[in-house]
Amino acid sequence: MYGHKYNKFKTFDQEVIHIFTDYEWKGNVRELQNTIERLVLTVQAQHIDLGHLPENLTKAIFSS
């Protein structure tokens, strides 16, 4: 979706995908979409891993 929109094609680490599925998205799917879009646009690397995630997301996952 965002790859075609911005002509930036990224892959996501399996750990990141697990975090996306385990996280309680309070803003529903729109918050998830915004997070993915922001990662696609701001991460210079081709592969998005745990270190690229926003701090608030990783804190919420690892503190539970």
- CATH number, position 16: 1.10.8.60
Range of the domain at 52: 2-62
Instruction: Specify the pLDDT at position 59.
Output: 81
Total number of domains in the chain: 1
Instruction: Specify the pLDDT at position 43.
Output: 97
φ, ψ for residue 12 (rounded to 5)?
-120, 135
64 closest CA partner among 31, 17, 22, 35: 22
Per residue in 5-64, pLDDT tens? 999 999 999 999 999 998 889 888 999 999 999 999 999 999 999 999 999 888 877 776
Identify the residue whose tokens are 């979706």.
1
50 closest CA partner among 24, 22, 29, 8: 22
Q: For the whole model, what pTM was predicted? A: 0.86
Instruction: Specify the pLDDT at position 1.
Output: 82
Instruction: Specify the pLDDT at position 63.
Output: 73
- Tallying the residues shown for the chain, one arrives at 64
